[in-house]
Amino acid sequence: MLAKKLVTAQKRGETRALCLGLGMVACSMMMYFFIGITIVPFYTKSVWTTETVCKLLKANIKDKVLCPNSEGSEDEDIFPYPCLQVWVNLTASGQEVMLYQTEDTLERNPKCSYVPGKSENSKEVKARIETIASNFKKYQTFPCYYDPGGTQTNVILSRLYPPKGLLFAFLWPTLMFTGGCLIIVLVKISQYVSVLSAWQ
C-alpha cells in the first residue's frame, strides 16, 4: 500500500516537473518571438554601426519654436521646445556633421539633436536642454557612431540597441530555455531509471 502511494506521488511529481519544464520552454519561445519582432528589426535597421570619436564644433540652442515630430504623428504629440543643434567634426572622415542623440531622434525631428519627452513643465525641459548643451561644451571630444556605408551623413551619440543590449535581451530567454530543457531531460532520465529498476 505504501509502495503504491510512493509510486503515485513520484508520478505526480514527475508530471508537475515535466509541465514546469515544458512551460519554461514555451515561455522562452514566446520571449524569443517577442524580441524577434520588436528589438531585432530596430537593431538590423540601424546603419550607425561603427564607433569613432567626434569633436564638438558648436552647440546652439534656438528659441522655443514648434519642432514637430515625424510626419504622420498625432497633433497631441507635437509640442514646442528649445531646439538644440549640435555640430561635430567626424574624425573618421573630417566632415562637419550634425549629431543626434539616437536613431529615434532623427526620425522624430531631423532639425534638432535632442528631442525631450512630452512634458507639461517647459522649465524642466529648458533646463535639461541647457544642461545637455553645457555638457557637450565641457567634454569637447566623445565617442559617437556613424554610417560606414555613407547612406547617412549624420552621426548619433548612442545606439538604442547596441550589440551588448541585444545579447542581454536574449540572455534571459536562453537561460529559461536551458533550464526547461534540463528539467525535461532529468524527468525523462528519472522515468527511465524507474522503469529499468521495476523491470529488474
Q: Give pLDDT tens digits for 152-200.
A: 889 999 988 888 888 888 999 999 999 999 999 988 888 787 777 767 6
Q: Give pLDDT tens digits for 51-88.
A: 889 999 988 888 765 555 444 444 445 667 888 999 99
Task: Read off the C-alpha cell for 27.
Answer: 515561455
Q: Is the dihedral of CA 29, 34, 40, 41 positive or negative?
A: positive
Q: Give pLDDT tens digits for 125-162.
A: 888 888 999 998 888 899 999 988 878 889 999 988 88
Q: Where are the domains of the chain?
A: 21-42+164-199, 50-160
pLDDT of residue 69: 46
- β-pair type (96-100, 155-156): parallel
Residue appearing with cell numbers 529499468: 196
Whether the predicted model's global pTM rises above the 0.85 cut: no
